[in-house]
Chain A
Amino acid sequence: MVSFWQSYWCSLAAIFRDRNVMLLVIVGPIVYSFYYPFPYSPEVVREIPVAVADMDNSSLSRQLVRLADASPDINVINVVSDSTELRQALWNGDIEGGLIIPAGFRRNIMRGETANAVVLGNGAYFMFDSLELRGFSNAVQALSAQLERRHELTLSVSPEQAAELSDPVRLDLRTTSNPIGGYSTYVVPAVAVVVLQQTLLLGICMLLGRWRESGSPYDMTFRKNRLALVFAVATICLANTLYYIGLVYWREDYPHLGQLRDLLPVVIVFSLTVAAWSVAISSCIRYRVQAVIHLIPTSIPIIFMGGFAWPIESIPTPLVAASMLVPSTVGIQAFLNVDQMGASLVQVLPELTGLFMLFIGSLALIVYRKNWPVPVDK
């Protein structure tokens, strides 16, 4: 009979000795830490290619085109004279949106009537529409403001008063997190939690599947040995999580507000939960690659149940309840709140309690389950 710590080291050694388990639990998180943030590294989408169909061809319409081009959100790559050319360019994917300035644009404004312009947004892609709208509407607002101020000046005393009167209420938008609205900052810290969890789960399933096929290095009928395995797996998860939070987020330069004293307990509880959860699931695995062939498609729903891309409030209740059985769901929330948004430990107690309950549940399964891989020499 071996001691707890002997089994602990023996588990770690077994994980490091199996090249394919290593590939999943150590190399996987490292590869993903480069692969996932990479396409999003520019953080913000700027200079969306658009075209303008200027059917008015007047001084004011040209001014609007100039103002639109000055916007950082859009890049006017072409000015055409009719809207069919716009459509053709959209089909080819040369542009992602456009602006139509109808004939009579300047005449309407000069007569004191409202002039219309049409923005063609591309709703088929995720981010284009609102950015295009912002780019064009900023340009239109700038033009409007110029015209309004000119009009107010005829009624008011000073240019300052004209400016204030032309815009009586202003909305001052201030952000408390992710100040530049970075896409990578938004996606990666959440998806990373799922990456950490899924790579570990698949790796441990592969390990126990192999032990089931060809024998475990120690006698798993002893509870102590099973707990040692959980702690060994938790150690790896802890190291991986710290690698992400400490090194990857730092390298990617994500803004973070978390204090280490608030963050560390979250990391520890998360690591323990994911480890126990992985070991509990892997005890049902009968051969080495069984988990890999079954579980891969589940990562996508698991990511979206985290509530960062699609708010929990909008997810159907039965799904929200079911998603509590996966550590990453509350894990994402706890990590985002503390590390990205600056919540204190007390503020994420509900999430931590959720993780802890899952930990206890998994541990109970591990302790009471009878059917474990048998040792090599039996």
Chain B
Amino acid sequence: MSKVTKYQTGFIVALKRELSQYQYRGGEFVFSIGVLLLSMVTVAWIFTSGTLTNLPIAVIDNDGSSVSRTYIRMLEASPHLHIVDKLSSPAEARELLEQASIYAFVLIPKHFTRDMKTGRQATVVAWYSRQFLTISGTITNSLLEITETLAASAQITSLAKRGESVLAAGVNSMPVQLELRTLFNPFQNYQYFLIAGLLPAMLQVFVMVWTVFLVGREFQEQTGARWLAIGGNVYMAITAKVLPVFVVASAISIGCVNWLYGVAGWPVSGSLGLLLVGWELLIGAHIVLGVLFAGFAPNLATALSFAVFFTAPAFAYAGITFPQYAMPLVAQFWTYMLPIRTLLRLQIEQTEIGTPISNSMPELLVLVVFIVVPLPFAIRRIRTRCTTS
């Protein structure tokens, strides 16, 4: 028998042994896939509304004039805000704010109209809870925008009264106009930030935990020697072991990418093929790291705990929600140790920014490094552990 065919049969036998184990562990595997898919669907479902609309706020109108009522109508007309209550006392409003029934309240002072008309500056006070950073950001932006609109119209009226043409007054009240062109995510849709980032974050947990579990179980049940013997050599044994996880994870990743950029129809400005290669490399990287963790940890439970510590909070370091450059230096360095960070940068480059493929090569290379560098250590460790057991 030639060497190649010997390895081939070794691989096939090892794979058969591996698959036969799914006969009684298959239910567990299917359950785990189900939990993963359910989590993914839930996350996508949470953010279905996409943008923040109808955030509850309250208004206290101490002026009760036509101008103050116009202002309130302008607030109500904003798609982001929804006035749930017209209150009379700030104490009442504060209480609602504390228990998060409302996210802000606007206080229109007495003599609001009079001050405006007599050329004094009128001040509207808005209290908001900044604890909810994303929500308060949307609220303050809307409030500022609406107040500026009101101020501009008041100024134009005032200038026009003093003899300027309405057109000139309009220009003079706004000499410089700023136009915002949001590149890469023009609709300001939170789905883009979060769902696209969270799906691979959940997938990497699944891949790593299951790889650790499958490899670690051989050591726990002291079947390492048999596993190695059936595979013929360590390469065939490991490949056969992780192949089912790789196949399932790949199918899920293709499903995710297809759903995000196909069915849901989010724009892709770069190469979807390259992105898919990135996802596959991410899966590969976590499989290799999983084999490494399982090989070095003293027992299965410890290996799994470390896999959990490594993957579960990884998204916090990915730089999606909080930019990487603003992190402390040590954290910035650590982010490069997490494959998910590199994949998400690649994903943003290829879907939103539209980076040329050549500019995204460093990211791809980093993902390859995650596979190539730990692999020899993982293989050597598995070989020694299997032969000494």
- Chain A residues packing against B (C-beta within 8 Å): 19-20, 23-24, 28, 31-32, 35-36, 38-42, 45-46, 48-49, 64, 90-93, 96, 109, 112-130, 133, 136-137, 140, 143-144, 147-148, 151, 155, 161, 164-179, 181, 183, 185-187, 191, 202, 206, 288-290, 292-301, 304-305, 308-311, 313-316, 319, 333, 336-337, 340-344, 347-348
Contacts and interface: CB of A to CB of B under 8 A. Distances in A.
B131 A186 contact: yes
A289 B121 CA distance: 66
A174 B97 CA distance: 12
B118 to A, nearest CB: 10
15 contacts: A39-B317, A121-B183, A144-B176, A155-B159, A168-B119, A171-B126, A172-B125, A173-B128, A178-B133, A289-B213, A289-B301, A292-B308, A294-B28, A296-B205, A347-B99
B45 A316 contact: yes
A45 B213 CA distance: 40
Contact of A300 (B43, B49, B140): B43
B133 A179 contact: no
B287 interface: no
Interface stretch (B225-233, B352-360, B364-372, B373-381): B352-360
Interface stretch (B11-19, B190-198, B257-265): B190-198
Contacts of B301: 20, 206, 288-289, 292
B176 A109 contact: yes
A17 B135 CA distance: 45
Given A181-B130, A293-B209, A297-B206, A202 B308 contact: yes
Nearest to B302: A20
A31 B309 contact: yes
Contacts of B185: 123-124, 129
Given A164-B121, A170-B123, A293-B28, A91 B175 contact: no
Interface stretch (B1-9, B50-58, B235-243, B273-281): B50-58
Contacts of B94: 176
B155 A165 contact: yes
Given A179-B130, A310-B47, A170 B100 contact: no
A341 B301 CA distance: 39
Given A129-B188, A185-B131, A174 B304 contact: no
A123 B143 CA distance: 21
B219 interface: no
Nearest to A127: B323
A114 B121 contact: no
Contact of A175 (B129, B210, B317, B328): B129
Contact of B322 (A40, A133, A148): A40
A313 B59 CA distance: 19
B91 interface: no
Given A172-B124, A181-B133, A311-B52, A165 B308 contact: no
Contact of B171 (A113, A116, A168, A296): A113
Interface string B330-353: 110001000000000100110011
Contacts of A38: 328, 330-331
A310 B326 contact: no
Given A177-B130, A316-B48, A23 B302 contact: yes
Chain B interface residue number, banded: 35 or more
A121 B120 CA distance: 35
Closest 9 CB pairs of A and B: A123-B185, A20-B301, A343-B98, A124-B184, A301-B42, A169-B151, A171-B147, A39-B331, A186-B133
Nearest to B117: A168
B180 A125 contact: no
B201 interface: yes
A42 B98 contact: no
Contacts of B171: 112-114
Contact of A289 (B120, B144, B304, B327): B304
Contacts of B317: 39
B46 to A, nearest CB: 5
Contacts of B328: 38-39, 41-42
Contacts of B53: 314
Nearest to A47: B326
A143 B176 contact: yes
A39 B316 contact: yes
Nearest to A169: B151
B76 to A, nearest CB: 16
Contact of B316 (A36, A46, A115, A342): A36
A373 B98 CA distance: 45
Contact of B323 (A125, A289, A300): A125
A171 B124 contact: yes
Contacts of A295: 35
Contacts of B209: 292-293, 296
Given A124-B192, A126-B320, A169 B147 contact: yes
A313 B155 contact: no
Contact of A128 (B98, B154, B323, B352): B323
B130 A20 contact: no
A58 B198 CA distance: 46
Nearest to B308: A296
